[in-house]
Amino acid sequence: MLFFSFFKTLVDQEVVVQLKNDIEIKGTLQSVDQFLNLKLDNISCTDEIKYPHLSSVRNIFIRGSTVRYVYLNKNMVDTNLLQDATRREAMSERK
Amino acid sequence: MSFFGFDPSMPPKQAQQHSKNNNNSETLDFEETYKGYGEYDQEEGDYLNEETFGGNVELGTDFDFGNGSNQQSQPQQQPSHEQAHRSYVQAASSGVQPTNLDANVDLKPMESLWSGNVNTSSPVPVQIPLQGQPQQQHVLSMEEIERQQRQMQQFNGAPGGPVTNGNNQNAQFMPPQGFMQGQYPGQFIPQQFPNMYHHPGPFYQQGPMAVPPPPPHVQQQSVPPQQVQQVQQQHVQQQHLPPSPQDQNVQTNNSHLPSPMLEHELGKSPQPILRQSQSPMPPTLQELAPQGQTSNQVPIQNQQQQQPSRQQQQRQPMPQQNRREPLSPEEQKRLQIRHAKVEKILKHAGLMTPRDKDFITRYQLSQIVTEDPYNEDFYFQVYKIIQRGGIVGESNKGLIARAYLEHSGHRLGGRYKRADIALQRMQSQVEKAVTVAKERPQKKNEDSLNAGNATGRDGVLGKVSTSMNSKAPRRQLTIPLSTSRSGSTLTDEDGELRRNSTAGALQEVAESLGNVDLNNKTRARRRSSYAFTSIDQNSVLTRSGGRKFVLSLIETVYEEVLELEANLRSGKEINNKELWSALHIDDEVYEVSPYISMLSFDKGVKIMPRIFNFLDKEQKLKLLQTFFSELSHLNIIIISSYKTNPTPTDAQLKKIDLFQTVFLKIIVSFLSNSSNFIEIMSLLLHLIKNNNVSFISTSKIGLNLITVLISRAALIRQDSNRSSVLSTPEISTWNEIYDKLFTALESKIANVFPPKEYIDTIIEVSQPKNVSPATCYYDQAYIWQFLASLALSGKLNHQRIIIDEVRDEIFGTITQAESLKEHLQQEVNSDSNNSTINSDEIMYRREKLYQDLNLFLNVMGLVSRDGEISELK
């Protein structure tokens, strides 16, 4: 649940999602579920010329399995806390 | 459509025929294709045309075509429609005997979907006996049915409206038309279907289950209208009336049932008992009998029930008056658009009952909620608390409920705009989901016991594999934990790490796995090649148990702290024994305390404040004593000393900064909050006795630490001078310690100032790329602070020695400040454009140089200003 927990903190933040088919979509993260499906609002494609079909889309639902990468703003992440959360995850797994 | 009593029980057959014909398209003979269609005797029902097409029925503008249009757009609902429609005609015609069961066979599997909701199918037993009753006198005309429908719509439109028995409807009762106009097609009609699905009994099971098989044609005649009404009533009741639909059904059917027959039926089959137990209203049976005995009573009851709805009607007389007036084209168009919209929106509305929705929601929620959010949802929970500034806001469950409500689109609270109720409901859903989630781990364990085969469990979201799910996704790499340790030194790619494979590492490995010694040979060789140890981190690490050992210690400490913090949150008892032993402060086994080595790592430094939260005062003191006595081994001192590390890197400087902000803060707060004079003296003594003070004073961190100690001691001494708390032995001890410190520093005091090359290196490394070198400088305030506190605690002769030794630096600083002034003037003269930006900066620097210098000079009653030193007035 670590990633789910993590992405929940990014709700209402702007992220850039890179899909496995190389499309990069910038948008405000609306919601995320346990499969890491993402809902983005106010999206814009970083390469409008190559992927014009997304220019008329405002919000989008992305199946989690198609996501390759999510670019985040550095200051959205509390790295120390993330380390702790990782430790907790590892601890609970060992139990 | 089967307005003409066309037998829809045949469709499968017909469809087959059709497809056959289409397939064998070579020879299509008209006679053949038509064959059979006209031979049905439903043609006899022609005399009903008038009624069907409203020849003697008043034509309103509000005629219900909703069913028809829905039927076309939703083929999957057709069967139920067909039945409903057919029944109108069949109710009137007497000669038709279609077997309507086959047509609906394909709907049967739906039942299995709801098999969990046994309650909902409970009407079955009630209706089975009733359907057998010959009730020809109660055949309803289209008009009557229509009227009932209107009534239903009224109740739909009027929230909380009462329920009437649509069956024996009084003719004089007219529903307000206003409701129909807006809500007619969408709200009523589609929602009818789920109820059909939901109460499959009368439709799908009547044939096989009917106990006394009645004459088929009679059944067909009498039953269908009731069914329609029942469906409608059930629908209404579900929406507006909590009491059981069963009860209502019974009443409905009762109204035209001779009671002996009923009782006979009830007695015959065990099903009524079933119904009774499932019905929320126990007295159903008692009600049943008297009502059934005389059907005369029923209208009275109906009227009573209609009472409230009439009041409603009176409240809205206007729409009713408008009823006969035809709508203007504009209005009609608007109405049409509206209908279309509503229809579109509600096309699939009501496919699921609230109960189904609740179930799905609960299942979905159970995937994301957890009983122990701080454990499983740690990052999110703590992050939110940090964001809110330490205030715990809304409860986790409330938050989830709110968020989920928002996503599901129910945040407005549905038709009645009761957002609060919607939220409440969702919260209760979350509660339930938590219980579901609670049960899940057990199931998981059971599954894991059933061998490793990933047998899936059927969930609402499809087949859910138990071995892999969102909580435990498939891993790209699975690292076997047991073997990772034995190859520790070999798998280390880092060359530095290999150096650790000396005695300490050996010991550690031997400890962890006593039986594995296959690597001894290589280690011995390595040890010989790294036998000489310099004053570097690795040697220190080695002497404190090895890098791996220290790193694993840090992790252990983290885990202990996390555990303690979790206990703190949940209000459990806090026992720091484990933590204390993990810190290895008392551990004498190692040459250098592992605790000191822990501070070589950033994460080891970062955890310190949190460790301190869980230590008592004794432990803190012990920890600091260890810290100060082994200061020379501290990696950060070595890094921050210009002697051992003349060219610090950027990373090292950051490390120094981190240590300063994190660890120094702890020490300062400990000293100023909870320590007394003797404790401070003991710490200082530990420092002086065990370390080379003059070396430590060459490092920024070391100097800061000494400064903290002596300035705190000086403060306490000043305070106690007034109140004379300190005893004479304490003061004499202090003087002794101070003398020791001073002796250690004497003749090397000037060494606290780093050489120019070192300063230049630091400036070069730390300066941002886009800033001109002139604005960068090395902040020497910490040195002057040290000198100031040293002078403050010393006597006059001490001060004199200090001044003597650092005289050059004093005047050097003054010169520097004055040169800055000249530099500034030159710059102003040379180009007046760019200087404004820099001039402020330079003026500030000059001020700061004087300020820092005066920190020290003021202690001795001196002050320096504008290149001169004068007495402080």
Cβ of A81 and B471 within 8 Å?
no
Residue of A5, A31, A34 lying closest to B379 (CB–CB) = A5
Q: Does B375 touch chain A (CB under 8 A)?
A: yes
For residues B795 and B176, the model is more confident at B795
pTM, 2 dp:
0.54
Percent of residues, chain A, with pLDDT higher than 70: 99
Residue B488 has pLDDT above 60, yes or no: no
Best interface-test mutation with B: which of A3, A5, A68, A92 has the largest number of B CBs within 10 A? A5
pLDDT in tens, B491-534: 333 434 334 444 444 444 344 443 333 333 333 323 332 223 33
Half-sphere exposure of A80 (CA within 13 A, CB side): 11
The pLDDT value recorded for residue B247 is 44
The pLDDT value recorded for residue A28 is 95
CA dist B837 → B621, B816, B841 (Å): 49, 20, 7
Cβ of A1 and B603 within 8 Å?
no
pLDDT in tens, A42-59: 999 988 888 888 888 899
B709: closest CA among B748, B678, B743?
B678
Of the listed ranges B413-417, B535-539, B608-612, B656-660, the one predicted with least confidence? B413-417
Of the listed ranges B37-51, B395-409, B750-764, the one predicted with least confidence? B37-51
Q: Does A83 touch chain B (CB under 8 A)?
A: yes
Q: Does A34 touch chain B (CB under 8 A)?
A: yes
- If residue B604 lies in a helix (H) or strand (E), which one and from where to where? helix B602-606
Best interface-test mutation with B: which of A9, A10, A33, A61 has the largest number of B CBs within 10 A? A9
Cβ of A6 and B470 within 8 Å?
no
Mean pLDDT of B263-290: 43
In the structure, what pLDDT confidence band is assigned to residue B118 with cuts at 50, 70 and 90?
very low
Of the listed ranges B113-122, B595-604, B833-842, the one predicted with least confidence? B113-122
Cβ-Cβ contacts under 8 Å, A8 against chain B:
377, 380
Cβ of A92 and B403 within 8 Å?
no
Cβ-Cβ contacts under 8 Å, B407 against chain A:
31
| pLDDT averaged over every residue in chain B | 64
Cβ of B558 and A2 within 8 Å?
no
Contact B154, B161 (CB under 8 A): yes
Mean pLDDT of B484-497: 40
Scan for tokens 């829809």, then name that residue.
Answer: B8
Q: Is B3 helix (H, G, I), strand (E, B) or coil?
A: coil
Largest CA distance in chain B: 133
Mean pLDDT of B860-871: 81
Q: Does B578 touch chain A (CB under 8 A)?
A: no
Query: B745-774 in b/e burial notation, b at 16+ Cβ within 10 A?
Result: beeebebbbbeeebeebbeeeeeeeeeeee
How far apart CA B227 and CA B244 sit, in angstroms, is 17
Largest CA distance in chain A: 51
- Residue spans of the domains in chain A: they are 2-94
A20: closest CA among A79, A80, A89, A67?
A67
Q: Say what the alpha-carbon torsion angle B786, B792, B796, B801 is, to the nearest 10 degrees.
A: 0
Query: Which residue of chain A is at minimal alpha-carbon distance from B384?
Result: A9
B539: closest CA among B495, B581, B503?
B503
List Cβ neighbours of A92 (8 Å cut-off, separation of 6 or more): B375, B376
Cβ of A89 and B555 within 8 Å?
no
Tell me, what amino acid is at B263?
E
Contacts by B213-217 with C-beta closer than 8 Å and gap 24+?
Answer: B213/B132, B214/B131, B214/B132, B214/B133, B214/B134, B215/B134, B216/B97, B216/B99, B217/B94, B217/B95, B217/B96, B217/B97
Residue B117 has pLDDT above 90, yes or no: no
Q: Does B609 touch chain A (CB under 8 A)?
A: no
Residue of A33, A34, A80 lying closest to B606 (CB–CB) = A80
For residues B111 and B594, the model is more confident at B594
Q: Does B363 touch chain A (CB under 8 A)?
A: no
pLDDT in tens, B603-650: 888 888 888 888 888 888 888 888 888 888 888 888 888 888 888 888
Chain A with chain B: Cβ pairs closer than 8 A: 62
B711: closest CA among B620, B797, B789?
B789
Most confident range (mean pLDDT) of A64-78, B62-76, B594-608, B686-700 is A64-78
Percent of residues, chain B, with pLDDT higher than 90: 1
Cβ of A92 and B559 within 8 Å?
no
Of the listed ranges B259-263, B414-418, B582-586, B823-827, the one predicted with least confidence? B259-263
Mean pLDDT of B734-738: 87
Per DSSP, B590 falls in state S
Q: Does B555 touch chain A (CB under 8 A)?
A: yes
Residue B585 has pLDDT above 50, yes or no: yes
pLDDT in tens, A68-91: 999 999 888 988 889 888 888 888
Residue of A9, A80, A91 lying closest to B380 (CB–CB) = A9
CA dist B560 → A6, B231, B552, B579, B664 (Å): 23, 63, 12, 6, 23
Cβ-Cβ contacts under 8 Å, A82 against chain B:
379
ipTM of this predicted structure: 0.87
Residue B41 has pLDDT above 90, yes or no: no
Residue of B386, B470, B555 lying closest to A35 (CB–CB) = B470
Cβ of A31 and B367 within 8 Å?
no
In the structure, what pLDDT confidence band is assigned to residue B835 with cuts at 50, 70 and 90?
low
CATH class, A2-94 region: mainly beta
Residue B166 has pLDDT above 60, yes or no: no
- What DSSP assignment string belongs to B743-795? HHHTT-GGGGSPPHHHHHHHHHHHS-TTS-GGG-----HHHHHHHHHHHHHS-
Q: Does A81 touch chain B (CB under 8 A)?
A: yes
Residue A26 has pLDDT above 90, yes or no: yes
Contact B137, B256 (CB under 8 A): yes
Mean pLDDT of B543-570: 85
How far apart CA B236 and CA B8 sit, in angstroms, is 28
Most confident range (mean pLDDT) of B45-49, B283-287, B485-489, B745-749 is B745-749
Query: Which residue of chain B is at minimal alpha-carbon distance from A8?
Result: B380
The first and second tokens of residue B692, run together, are 């080379």
How far apart CA B682 and CA B676 sit, in angstroms, is 10
Based on its alpha-carbon atoms, the radius of gyration of chain A, rounded to whole angstroms, reads 15
B152: closest CA among B233, B70, B48, B247?
B233
Of the listed ranges B357-371, B471-485, B584-598, B694-708, the one predicted with least confidence? B471-485
Mean pLDDT of B592-601: 84
Per DSSP, A21 falls in state T
Residue B451 has pLDDT above 60, yes or no: no
How far apart CA B641 and CA A86 sit, in angstroms, is 35
The three-state (H, E, C) secondary structure of B540-560, written as one string? HHHHCCCHHHHHHHHHHHHHH
Of the listed ranges A24-33, A62-71, B851-860, the one predicted with least confidence? B851-860
Cβ of A33 and B603 within 8 Å?
no
How far apart CA B854 and CA B813 sit, in angstroms, is 11
In the structure, what pLDDT confidence band is assigned to residue B840 with cuts at 50, 70 and 90?
confident
Cβ-Cβ contacts under 8 Å, B367 against chain A:
33-34
Residue B674 has pLDDT above 90, yes or no: no
- Using alpha carbons only, give the angle B777, B779, B784 rounded to the nearest 5 degrees: 140
Chain B nearest-CA distance from A34, in A, is 6
Chain A nearest-CA distance from B569, in A, is 15
Residue of B377, B383, B407 lying closest to A1 (CB–CB) = B377
Q: Is B627 helix (H, G, I), strand (E, B) or coil?
A: helix
Cβ of A34 and B603 within 8 Å?
no
The pLDDT value recorded for residue B414 is 54
Mean pLDDT of B125-145: 52
Of the listed ranges B185-189, B354-358, B526-530, the one predicted with least confidence? B526-530
CA dist B792 → B769, B796, B803 (Å): 40, 9, 13
CA dist B663 → B90, B611, B627, B638 (Å): 90, 11, 11, 16
Mean pLDDT of B7-15: 50
The first and second tokens of residue B274, run together, are 């079933």
How far apart CA B118 and CA A59 sit, in angstroms, is 41
How far apart CA B305 and CA B299 sit, in angstroms, is 10
Best interface-test mutation with A: which of B379, B380, B567 has the largest number of A CBs within 10 A? B379
In the structure, what pLDDT confidence band is assigned to residue B34 with cuts at 50, 70 and 90?
low
> Cα–chain-centroid distance for residue A63?
11
Most confident range (mean pLDDT) of B452-466, B556-570, B589-603 is B556-570
Chain B nearest-CA distance from A56, in A, is 23
The pLDDT value recorded for residue B21 is 47
Residue B282 has pLDDT above 50, yes or no: no
Residue A11 has pLDDT above 70, yes or no: yes
Residue A39 has pLDDT above 90, yes or no: yes
The pLDDT value recorded for residue B15 is 46
How far apart CA B84 and CA B103 sit, in angstroms, is 13
What's the order of all strands across the beta sheet hosting A14-19?
Answer: A60-62, A38-45, A24-32, A14-19, A67-71
Cβ of B380 and A78 within 8 Å?
no
The pLDDT value recorded for residue B110 is 53
Q: Does A63 touch chain B (CB under 8 A)?
A: no
Query: Would you tell me the crossing angle of helices B677-690 and B617-629 to the nearest 10 degrees?
Result: 30
The first and second tokens of residue B376, run together, are 């499983």
